[in-house]
Amino acid sequence: AARNKEDLRSPICCILGHVDTGKTKLLDKIRQTNVQEGEAGGITQQIGATYFPVDAIKTKTADGKQEYKIPGLLVIDTPGHESFTNLRSRGSSLCNIAILVVDIMHGLEPQTLESLRLLRDRKTPFIVALNKIDRMYGWQPTPDNDFQSSLAKQSRAVQREFEDRTQKTILAFAEQGLNAVLYYDNKNFARNVSLVPTSAITGEGVPDMIMLLVNLTQERMSDRLMYLSELECTVLEVKVIEGLGTTIDISAYVHHKEVKAALGVKIVAPDLEKAIAGSRLLVVGPDDDEDELMDEVMSD
């Protein structure tokens, strides 16, 4: 495929954070779904991928001036429960960019710090969603509003609580050696981590978060988002679907003749019972030795 700065593939974005900070709920808000309430004990136990085509993103951001160069965004949800370090590690290894979700009422928690380590080890750019702003006492919601105009409508006491909690979070990030700033004060995306206040319940700040992701990927990562001709693929999930047998991977069943990069794809094929989530997917070409490639996958 051609390598062209104007022809970018969809970035892969991973959502990481401590348990119950609202990762799945934020995705539910964007998708207009209700996955979170269907989860056992409200706990995510697997990696899930959702593809947002650019047209779906546009309807969520409501800014006519925004220019879109990416065809869409593939978002990977991960569990925050402490026992799923392996899934967080797998999710973060797949992504170009990440959203680290922090509960504004709790600040940085153990799995926030673990997620931070994963992101720094892989030098993955990320933004921080300071979620659950609606839980601040006296918060008056304006559904799906942009954050700054919502904040302007709050009482002085709520604004002060917000400033207080934000300062504490900034301090906690500083203790981890990171410069965190509210995204609208961020003048240097390469040096500072952007904080975007959100509520997955009222939708406030969610348009800001999406805009920030789109801008960050387009401005800072276009080199890494140009199409590559080699396949880079990982098995996310192995599951049995009636009528299809054992399938691998995720998302709704759509029949494709050809797929362009960064899509969640469901594969139906014989012998998939033996597929293992987390392993790589390789393509056997005419000049390849199948046994050699098999050894390569097994060595992971």
Interface residues with ligand GTP (CB under 6 A) are 17, 19-25, 36, 42-44, 79-81, 131-132, 134-135, 199-201
Residues 38-77 that bind Na ion (CB under 5 A): 42-43
The phi, psi pair for 120, rounded to 5°, reads -70, -40
Q: Which lies closer to Mg ion via its Cβ, residue 87 or residue 225?
A: 87
Asked if 109 is part of the footprint of Na ion (rule: CB under 5 A), the reply reads no
Left, alpha or beta for 214 (phi > 0: left; psi -120 to 50: alpha)?
A: alpha
Token couple for 197: 């206040």
Binding mask 213-252 for Na ion (x = CB under 5 A): ----------------------------------------
Nearest distance from residue 130's CB to ligand GTP, in Å?
10
Nearest distance from residue 42's CB to Na ion, in Å?
4
Residues 7-36 that bind Na ion (CB under 5 A): 20
Q: Which lies closer to Na ion via its Cβ, residue 108 or residue 180?
A: 108
Helix extents (H) in 66-134: 85-94, 110-121
Q: Which lies closer to ligand GTP via its Cβ, residue 58 or residue 106?
A: 106
As to burial, measured by CB atoms within 10 angstroms (0-12 exposed, 13-18 middle, 19+ buried), residue 150 is buried
Asked if 111 is part of the footprint of Mg ion (rule: CB under 5 A), the reply reads no
- Pair 236, 264: CB distance under 8 Å: yes
Kind and range of the H or E run holding 98 = strand 97-103
Helix extents (H) in the chain: 23-31, 35-38, 54-61, 85-94, 110-121, 147-152, 156-175, 206-220, 290-298
Asked if 88 is part of the footprint of Mg ion (rule: CB under 5 A), the reply reads no
Residues 15-54 that bind Mg ion (CB under 5 A): 23-24, 44
State how far the Cα of 59 lies from the Cα of 51, in Å rounded to an integer. 15
Where do contacts with Mg ion occur on this chain (CB under 5 A)?
A: 23-24, 44
Where do contacts with Na ion occur on this chain (CB under 5 A)?
A: 20, 42-43
